[in-house]
Amino acid sequence: MLLKVGSSGEVVKQVQKFLGLTADGIFGKGTEQSVKDFQKLNGLTPDGLVGSGTLAKMGIKVEAASAPTPNNAPSAGASTQRIKLRL
């Protein structure tokens, strides 16, 4: 699974909730910038794309094609930094 600008759905909502954004389920430019900021803070390539590495760092588990596990908190012992979005 790879989320990017133009993607939509429940997993996008989970990512937006994790980032402290309005969770409308539509991956737009604001979500992309917040993802890039999160990636920079967490040692990931800041490309704005949400793949398995970014999802794992966020603690979001996706089963099957698009059925997310209701777990948007990082796993125990995970070291992640959240960001505050300035609008």
Query: Can you give the length of the chain in residues?
Result: 87
Dig out the tokens for 23 from the structure. Answer: 């969770």
Q: 49 in a domain, yes or no?
A: yes
From residue 60, give the alpha-carbon distance in Å to each of 11, 17, 86, 87. 8, 11, 23, 25
At 37-49, the pLDDT tens digits run 999 999 999 999 9
Q: How confident is the model at residue 34 (pLDDT cuts 50, 70, 90)?
A: very high
Q: 84 in a domain, yes or no?
A: no
Dig out the tokens for 41 from the structure. Answer: 């803070």
The domain tally of the chain equals 1
Report the CATH number at residue 50: 1.10.101
pTM reported for the whole predicted model: 0.73
At 71-84, the pLDDT tens digits run 444 544 455 666 65
Contact criterion met (CB below 8 Å) for 82 and 57 = no
Q: Summarize the confidence of residues 14-33 as an average pLDDT.
A: 98
> Could you list the residue range(s) of the whole structural domain that residue 47 is in?
10-68
Q: 54 in a domain, yes or no?
A: yes
Q: 83 in a domain, yes or no?
A: no
